[in-house]
Structures are given as structure tokens and as C-alpha cells.
Structure 1
Amino acid sequence: MEGGYRDDKFVGGTDNPDFYNFYHWAQIDIFVYFSHHLVTIPPLMWIETAHKNGVKVLGTFITEWDHGANNCLTMFGSVQSSIHFAKKLAEIALTYNFDGWLINIENVLTVDGVENIQVFLQYLTQEMKESNLHSSIIWYDAVTNEGKLEWQDSVTDLNSCFFRCCDGIFLNYTWKDWKLELTLELCIDKPLDVFVGIDVFARGCIGKFECHISTKKITDYGFSVALFATAWCYEQTKPDFPSFIKHNNRFWNLLQPTCSPKPLSLTQDEKYVTEFNFGFGKKAYRYGFLLSLKSWFNLSKQDVPFINFINDDNLSTSINDVQAFESSTCLQVDFLEGTSHDNLICLDMSRRKGGEMILVCKSLNDSKLKDLKMLVTEKNGIQHSLYQEQNMFIGGNHWRRITFPLNDALNIKWIGLKFEKKRQIVLLGQLSC
């Protein structure tokens, strides 16, 4: 995003609540921090937040154009130097606790360079696996086995030698159907290791709010998806942060059919609490009482599960940064009369038996929320209504603590809400179970 290393580079965050924010972790498996520096180490807040959500984080090693070709002459001039630099990259990843590298060589190579980069890839992949079994080294498709700068947009005999040396290949964005068919023929045994590129800015491909068209085609072939520059949603709306949040939610909702959310899996003994902290704010609250008017941004403070944001004529889901129960944000859901949000929060509770769900919430309609029901949907699609066991005030500013008992037999994947009567605007400040 804008070259990288901006407000997100500071370990303790900044006072800019309107910086680019990412919270759709459940829809991705790997996050690559990209910049045009030779070695890009992901900032701490990205590493911590991704790992909290079960997502691998990769740094970027990149060489480009004439100066990149000169760097490659130095680094990959011999087998010994290639092994040396591979070892250094593995040490960097281990030191900073991230999970691998995107290797992006975008310049011509010598014959020796082609051979030595394969040694480099093999050694780096091996070294990373020794310290992190789940690590990934991914090669970007730009140069050929002849050392030419020629993007293939597919796996071919000209780039497969690099692919064989590491964990995956990231194909360039200007692919066509016939190139995907060719790739499938050559990679029928490991299609998920092929990451087919989509430039969200739509440079040479179908992108922007039509990225879901490209992801559908890619996943129909059985390949993985590589979305490049998803901060497009931010860059096109800046400095209008509320518009960014709206566009960002729309973008990721459109991707749900092909990039479906992975629910956070809860164990029987694990206590789960979310305060719907999205990693930014303009105020700070404690138990509903205002503590501070200081603005802040820090992704590592996020504690949100996967939330299904919907905006239509009957239902609206949004981030509220004006009120909160804890921290600085809460989740706002606007219901019309008799409507429900069936798939609001994605949590895998299949390993949980019994207990209770506790929701801290408040109504902007001056209601005691007596007609609020919690909906839970099992993995098999069967839906159940949970009725209130307790409803009481907690903290300040009219927040209420509502308890819903859980049945031992439920195999929950989705949590939702429903109102039987009048229109409601409800703020969710905390969910625990």
C-alpha cells in the first residue's frame, strides 16, 4: 500500500485512526508484506495480528531492472554466495517470527545466475522448514530458465524449474483461460501450490469490484488465488475513511463465495472474548464509560472474529467508532422489523459442549432488548433460536448484559441475531463464551 512502511511500521502504532485497516483475516491463508526494498521485513503489528488469526506472514525479497541485475550478479554469482544469502534470509525470518518469503526477481539473469538461484531457493526452503515446518517460499513468475525477463502468466517449461525448488509459484496477472489450462496439465498433482495473480487495480486483468469474477475462474480450475494490492479500496477513497470501510466490506463480501471465511475454532476449555476492537479509534472506553478522547491506530490491538458485513434494504452492519463498551469501537447492526442477521459472526464451536453465550449490547431505540434472540447455525445448516436467560444493565451508558444458554448438542458455525418486533439499531460491545 503506497510503497509500504507507512503508519503501519511503528511498533506502538500511531495517532492516525484513518490509516488502512485490514480485518478480513478469515478469508485469507497467507499475507505477504510487499515493498520495493531489496529485503522487506513485515512490520510487527502485521505479524502479530496475522498469527493471532491463524494466517502465515511472508516478507518480500525483490530485485528489479538494471540495479537488480547488478545485485543478482553479486548475490548469485556463485553457489557459496547463494547459500550465504539464503541462510541470512532464513535467519531474518526466524528472528522476526514470520513464515517465509515471496521471491520476486524482475530482471535479466546470467546463465550462472539461473542455476545459482535454484540453489538459493532449495536451500532457503530447506532452512525455513527446519525452523518452521509451516513456512512458505513462493516464487514470482517473471524470469525464465534462459535468464530472460518474460512473464509467462502460467506454469511452463520455462519457469517450472524455479517452481520445483520451493513451495509455490505466484503467476503474473495477465493470464488467459488457455494459460490456466496449460498450467493445470503441468500441475495436476499440486494445483493449490499455484497462486494465480489478480491485480486489484485491474492492470491487465479483471479487478477492482469485479475481482470475484477472476477468483471464480481461478478456483474453478482448482488453483489458489494471489490478490495483489487489496489496499486499492483505501487508495481510491482516501481521505474519506468511512467510504473506505464501506467499500472494503463490499469488496471482501463479493469474494466470499470463492474466498469463504474460515471460522475461529474454539476448544472446550478456551475462554473466548471479543470486544469488537478493530485496531483504531478516536476515543477509549472502559465498561461503557468514556476514558479518553485520544485517537489511535494499531492493527495488533484487533480482537475481531470474522464478521459478515451486510448492507441492503432490510439490514445494515457497520463499525461504530463513536461509542464502545471496551476500547474504541463496537459493531452496529440496523434491523428493520422482523428481520434477522443469520450469519453475523463465524465461530467454530464444534468442540464446545454446553455453557452460555454472553452478549453485551445496547439499543439506540431506548429498548431493553427483551425481544432479542440469538440465532445459531450448525455446520449442517440447521438453525436454532436461543432465548434470553438473563438481561441486566452493566457498566455505563445503558449497556446491557444478556445471557443465552447453549445446548450440549449444538455444532455451531455461525452466530446471528433477530428481533421479532419493531425496527432496532443495536450496538454490540462484547461477545464471550
Structure 2
Amino acid sequence: MTHHPTRRTVVLTPAAAAAALLTPATRATAAPAQDDDLQPYASYWFPDSLPSGTPGEGVVWRSLLGWTPEGDPDLAFNRSTTPLAERFTPVPVNASARADRARIASLVSFHPTAGNPSQGAATADHYALTHWAYLDELVFWGGSSGEGIVLAPNAPVVDAAHRNGVPVLGNVFLPPAAYGGQLRWTRDLVQRDARGGFPVAEKLVQVATAYGFDGWFVNAETDGGDPELGAHMLAFVEELKRLGAPHGLRVTWYDAMTANGSVDWQNELNAANQDFFLASDTMFVNFDWNTAKLAASARLAQDLDRGRYELWAGVDVESEGLHTPVDWDAVLPAGADPVVSYGFYRPEWTLGHLPEGRTPGQFHAADDRFWTGESLDPARPGGSWRAPASAVADRSTVTDLPFACAFNTGHGLKWYEDGRVRSDAAWNQLGLQDRLPGRRWVVRTEGARPQVALDFADAWRGGSSLLVDGAPDAPVTVELHAVRLPLSTATVVRLAQRVVSGGPVRVELGVALREPDQAGDPQAYAFLPVGKAGAGGWSEAEVRLASLGGSGTVHGLAVRLTASGPVRWRLGALAVRDAEEQIAAPSGLRVDKSSGDGQFRLSWRPSPTAPRHYELHRVLPDGTRRFLTGTCARAAYVKGLAAEPGEKAVTFELRAVGELFTPSEPIAVTHPW
């Protein structure tokens, strides 16, 4: 496996090197330090003692031992309220993808450690990860000696991941001395109190449970330790796992510190690090592995009565992305089960490698190639890059009614509701992301294959829609969600669609009532007419499934398009229900804080019907509503508001929104300018 000469430096540089130097230029992206800055940010700490000197602009040094939920002013904004959904594995769409074998972890830096907004921001330029179907664990990567070395994930990432059944881990990063690491922080982490307990471990569990995420990635890379420190670290990890177990928390250990307390990357599981593996749920193996080391690691894991797929073989894609040279046969030998699982380091390359002025569409095109492969069709994998879709079976959480998808990726250039623009501002908020099709895109046709993509030029709801663009000379079936939904005589599917140009198009809904017999076999759909559509605006149509027998289970959803000549067709939403949705309104909306420059913090009491999320609008003097933000939390922050001419007070409206995007009745509050 080819690497840069100083692999360990590459590992640290993205998250730590610049911040550790603490020069003004490196802090330019951090939040401005203002007394009246009401913006909530993702949380980060040092375990106990703080650095000497003065923090950089926008950086706040905090001690984790001094943190309490009651004293955290941003807790309401950082708390995830979306439970971790259960997943199932449908029959793989290609014969090379293995079910219940290798898994994939991802270490992602969504933003520098400091200044990371708690609830999204007014830009669409964001790593809006959508390929959750192939992930088993996400690490919220970050931390640095100049900002803080314990990093908690912000709520939008956790909400989106949980909706798709993916646990999210915070990061404990003890950097090397070359990047400002201090051995005293390692000793702070593993300190014991008078009763022999580990107070920092207790705080880590308290943070994870209060914030609603799933555990910690422990990365100890500050050298200079001894066997005594190594023993303390092992006992700390064991206690962290023990304390977190009743809460369903997990621990992943990074292959750096060894049992003797020194930092010595092993690039395999062996006697030097096996005790840390046994103390953890999984271990991330450093990047310089090879075929022999991974095979030996798999054997040792099994000899220790642990699963070999509890080892993540690290794959560094930060610099070269899907062009990274990887000895895939060492992990994924042809025609055999994978040797171990694997983990991507910094797959947000799919965004970062694009030039200035990049668009959301360009990002998703690159991201689809990374996760699906060069063919852009997981049913037809191939190419030198072993995309996850070619090796790992996708998973789905779509098992209950009602279910809806508006193909919203969690960012956009505008905000749409029922096909109308409710805000012209760009935005990102991953907590608003839909459960998107996991197999993007399986297209079956005897003729020319059209392009299929998530597109941002128009939407039914949110910021994006599904666009099919081509000149089909035969019927085209675009497979959507793998599901396990109950079917009854009352089941109805509603679609919002639009023919942008060309047409007319005959649209049919595909419903699969069983899974294929074996991996790689095509799904068998029954097709029900939706109608014929010509170029124009958005329209809605309902399809009743009673003709399919009135009982059983729906296993797949698709659309089939028949057109003559070029056509551009959008699917804006797909919703399945067996009853109308009733959403109760929240209550107690209030402005908690405001500033003279148009910042507001608001909070409310939750809806009793457990909605999908909440949406906050501003009511303008002419009675129109302007979308401001959405969140799964019970608090929201907005900024940049200004009074309209003659407006003496600002009026906010809040609605709870259900799984079918049904809004509750609004509640309102008015606040003087």
C-alpha cells in the first residue's frame, strides 16, 4: 500500500496542525469573538487543564471536568432528539456485495473544531453526506491542541445519521507533541479520583447521553508515556466502555498507543494493542497494513473470541479520494468474504477537491462516484475504485408507515414548500435530510440510459428533487427505496412530479411484493398507472395499492417512465400511508435572547405527537411567510434579520412537521425590534 513518507503527519494535519500553531491566519474561519454573539456552536473541551497562553480568535478553552448539562447554554441546540433507527439488509443488488460481513466506518471533519454552528448555516457549500446505507459508524473527526481535544458531534449530523440507523461517535484526540500535544492531557484524561474512579470517563458518558450521540473514538497519539501510563489508559478505556454500556454507547480505539504506553502504530492487531481492542467495541487499524498483517489480524481477533469485522482497516482518502491507490485485495479478496472491515479517513474529499465556486450538484456527482462507483449504478459495479456499493450490502430503515421522501439532501440553494420558494437563501441543515434511496441509481432499461441525479434547480420540498434527464427509446425503471412496509387495502402512495421539458411522459409506480431470490437478481415489480404528464408545473397524484391484494409486505418502490424523445422529469416527493397524519402543535414559543443586529434564540415545548422536525418562519407585514430554519431540537437560532419599513416588531411562527411533511397548526410569538 503506497503512502506519503510521513503518514502520521498526514493523519494529523487536517484536524490539528494548523490550529496547533495558533497563528491569526489559521483562525480566520473560526467564530468571531463578540460579547453579543448568540450563535451556538458544537462543543469541544480539554479533559481538565488548559493550555498556557491565550486562545486564538474565536476559540474558547473549556475544561470537560467543569462541564455540567445544567450549565451548558448551548445544550438545547446541540442535543440530538432523533433515536437510532433499526436497519435491515435487503438482498444485495449485485453479486459482489456481501451482507453481514465487512462494514465501513468513516472519519469525517465537517468543519474546523471551533466555530462549527450547532444547527447548520446559510450556505449550501457543505459536506452533506447521504450514502448512509453503506456506513456502520461515523466518527465526528476533529480536535486540536489550539482549540480542544475532546469534540462532541453537532445535532444535525447525529439526527441525519440516526434516521438512517448509523451511530455517531465523538472524538478524543491526544495529538503528538509536534502538533502541540502535551502528555499532561493524557494524564488528565486517565486521572483517578479519591474513590478510584475515572472522572473524565464519567463526563464523557454524561456528555454523550445529554447530547444524544453514541460513544467515543479514542485516539491517543501523544508520545512519551511509560507502562504505568499504558496501564492507566487501558483501565480508562475499560471503564469508559463499562459506564457507557447501560446507555448503548460504544468505544472505538485507534491503533496508536500500545500496552507499554508508547505511541507506535502497529498497522495490525497484535500483542502490543490487543488489550485495547478487547477493552473496546472496535479498533481502527492504522493505514500501513498489508495482506499478511490483515490476515493475521483477522485470525487473532477470532482467537480472542472477537469478530474480525470489528477491525477497521484504515484507508486514507483525504488527498486523492477515489484515486487513492489501495490494495483492495488485502481487504476484499475476489470471490471470497472480506478479511476485515475498513474505514475511510476524510471522505469529504468529494467536496474539498472541487474548485472554488463549486455547486451542490457537483459535490453530489463526486460523492456518488465515491460511494457507488464509476458506473453510477450499484447493480453494475466495476472500475479500479472498489466503491462501497460493490462490496458492502446496503441497509435501510424504511419499515413503518407513514413514510415519505422529498429527495431533500439537507442543503440547498433555496427552500421550497409544495413547489413554491419560501426562502431565496442558501442553507444547510443535515437534520432536515430525508431518508434517501440507498441504491443510487439502479436504472433498468432496454434502451438508452438517462442521467439520474439529485438536482437543486427546483424542488417540491426542501432544497432538491430527483431529476431524470435523457432521451429514452424504451421504458426506463428507476429503482428507489428498498423497504419493508406493511401492505393493506388502505395503503396509498402519493407522488409529486413535474415534466420540465419534453414529454409527454407516461409514469407508473413500481411496487415489489417480494425480494429477489439471490444477490444480483433484478427486483420484480408490479406497475400501477400514475398517469401521463406534460411539460408544466408541479402536480400530485395518488395510487392506491388495493389491487395488489390488500395484504403482505412491500419490499421495493420504483417509477417507470415511458416517453418518446428527450425529456427532463422531476420527482419531488414520494409518500406512503394507510391513514391521514395528525400532528399536534408545539407550545410555549418564546424569544429567549436577542441582539441589536438581528440575532434571536428561541425555544418551545415539544409537540406531543413526536414530529419529524420543526420549521420556523417569519411572518412579514404583508402576511407572507419566509422560511428561516428547521431543526429536530426544541430550540432554534436565527441571525441576519432586519426590520421591514415601518415594522415595530418581528413575528415568528413555528410548526411541527410529521413524517408525511404534514404541518401542525402554527404557534407564534412577536418580539419588538
Same topology, TM > 0.5: yes
Structure-2 change in CA distance of 1:201 and 1:208 (3 Å): farther
| Residues 1:303 and 2:431 are matched in the alignment | no
In 1, Cα distance between equivalents of 2:417 and 2:238:
51
**In the alignment, which of 73, 98, 101 is matched to residue 216 of structure 2?**
101
Residue in structure 1 matched with residue 159 of structure 2 by the alignment: 48
Bigger shift: 115-124 or 74-83? Answer: 74-83
| Residues 1:417 and 2:590 are matched in the alignment | no
Letter in 1 for 2:231: E
In 2, Cα distance between equivalents of 1:346 and 1:318:
15
The structure with more radius of gyration: 2
**In the alignment, which of 446, 449, 463 is matched to residue 314 of structure 1?**
449
The Cα offsets for residues 362-403 of structure 1, whole Å up to 9 and x where unpaired, read as 11235454x22223343225412322266799xx92424242
Structure-2 change in CA distance of 1:390 and 1:372 (3 Å): closer
Structure 1 residue 184 displacement after superposition: 1.5
In 2, Cα distance between equivalents of 1:34 and 1:319:
27
Structure 1 residue 334 displacement after superposition: 2.2
| Residues 1:337 and 2:473 are matched in the alignment | yes
**In the alignment, which of 210, 226, 236 is matched to residue 353 of structure 2?**
236
Alpha-carbon contact 2:318-2:346 (below 8 Å) kept:
yes
Letter in 1 for 2:237: L
Residue in structure 1 matched with residue 416 of structure 2 by the alignment: 285
In 1, Cα distance between equivalents of 2:456 and 2:170:
32
Bigger shift: 300-309 or 35-44? Answer: 300-309
Structure-2 change in CA distance of 1:18 and 1:73 (3 Å): closer
Residue in structure 2 matched with residue 33 of structure 1 by the alignment: 140
Residue in structure 1 matched with residue 236 of structure 2 by the alignment: 120
The number of residue pairs the alignment matches comes to: 423
Alpha-carbon contact 1:338-1:418 (below 8 Å) kept:
no
In 2, Cα distance between equivalents of 1:352 and 1:230:
38
Structure-2 change in CA distance of 1:168 and 1:333 (3 Å): same
Structure-2 change in CA distance of 1:31 and 1:163 (3 Å): same
In 2, Cα distance between equivalents of 1:171 and 1:90:
24
Mapping of residues 216-231 of structure 1, within 5 Å: 216-217=332-333, 220-231=337-348
In 2, Cα distance between equivalents of 1:410 and 1:420:
28
**In the alignment, which of 179, 190, 207 is matched to residue 293 of structure 2?**
179
In 1, Cα distance between equivalents of 2:426 and 2:466:
18
**In the alignment, which of 195, 202, 205 is matched to residue 90 of structure 1?**
205
In 2, Cα distance between equivalents of 1:319 and 1:342:
13
Letter in 2 for 1:358: R
Residue in structure 1 matched with residue 227 of structure 2 by the alignment: 111
Alpha-carbon contact 1:376-1:385 (below 8 Å) kept:
yes
Structure 1 residue 428 displacement after superposition: 0.7
Mapping of residues 129-140 of structure 1, within 5 Å: 129-130=245-246, 132-133=247-248, 135-140=249-254
Residue in structure 2 matched with residue 6 of structure 1 by the alignment: 111
Structure 1 residue 35 displacement after superposition: 0.5
TM-score normalised by length of structure 1: 0.88
Alpha-carbon contact 2:469-2:569 (below 8 Å) kept:
yes
Alpha-carbon contact 2:483-2:557 (below 8 Å) kept:
no
3-state SS of paired residue (1:401): strand
TM-score normalised by length of structure 2: 0.58
Letter in 2 for 1:6: H
Letter in 2 for 1:193: E
Structure 1 residue 329 displacement after superposition: 1.4
Letter in 1 for 2:562: E
3-state SS of paired residue (1:251): helix
3-state SS of paired residue (1:256): helix
| Residues 1:263 and 2:377 are matched in the alignment | no
Alpha-carbon contact 1:180-1:221 (below 8 Å) kept:
no
Alpha-carbon contact 1:374-1:404 (below 8 Å) kept:
no
Residue in structure 2 matched with residue 61 of structure 1 by the alignment: 172
**Gapped runs of 5+ residues in structure 1?**
none
Structure 1 residue 68 displacement after superposition: 3.6
Larger helix proportion of the pair: 1
Structure-2 change in CA distance of 1:372 and 1:74 (3 Å): closer
Letter in 2 for 1:245: H
**Gapped runs of 5+ residues in structure 2?**
1-12, 16-108, 374-387, 517-521, 577-673
In 2, Cα distance between equivalents of 1:216 and 1:351:
36
Structure-2 change in CA distance of 1:319 and 1:250 (3 Å): same
In 1, Cα distance between equivalents of 2:192 and 2:226:
11
Alpha-carbon contact 1:143-1:150 (below 8 Å) kept:
yes
Residue identity over aligned pairs, in percent, reads 19
Structure-2 change in CA distance of 1:386 and 1:362 (3 Å): same
In 1, Cα distance between equivalents of 2:131 and 2:110:
20
Residue in structure 2 matched with residue 324 of structure 1 by the alignment: 459
In 2, Cα distance between equivalents of 1:59 and 1:391:
49
Structure-2 change in CA distance of 1:207 and 1:155 (3 Å): farther
Structure-2 change in CA distance of 1:82 and 1:51 (3 Å): same
Bigger shift: 281-290 or 151-160? Answer: 281-290
Structure 1 residue 351 displacement after superposition: 3.8
Structure 1 residue 65 displacement after superposition: 1.6
Structure 1 residue 350 displacement after superposition: 4.9
3-state SS of paired residue (1:186): helix
In 2, Cα distance between equivalents of 1:93 and 1:426:
44
3-state SS of paired residue (1:304): coil
Structure-2 change in CA distance of 1:238 and 1:260 (3 Å): farther
In 1, Cα distance between equivalents of 2:371 and 2:240:
33
3-state SS of paired residue (2:391): coil
Alpha-carbon contact 1:373-1:419 (below 8 Å) kept:
yes
Structure-2 change in CA distance of 1:52 and 1:234 (3 Å): same
Alpha-carbon contact 1:392-1:400 (below 8 Å) kept:
no
| Residues 1:76 and 2:190 are matched in the alignment | yes
Alpha-carbon contact 2:409-2:434 (below 8 Å) kept:
yes
How well do the aligned residues superpose, as a CA RMSD in angstroms? 2.9
In 2, Cα distance between equivalents of 1:27 and 1:246:
17
Residue in structure 1 matched with residue 526 of structure 2 by the alignment: 385
Alpha-carbon contact 1:277-1:327 (below 8 Å) kept:
yes
In 2, Cα distance between equivalents of 1:210 and 1:65:
26
Structure 1 residue 209 displacement after superposition: 6.3
3-state SS of paired residue (1:349): strand
Structure-2 change in CA distance of 1:235 and 1:94 (3 Å): same
Residue in structure 1 matched with residue 641 of structure 2 by the alignment: none
3-state SS of paired residue (1:383): coil
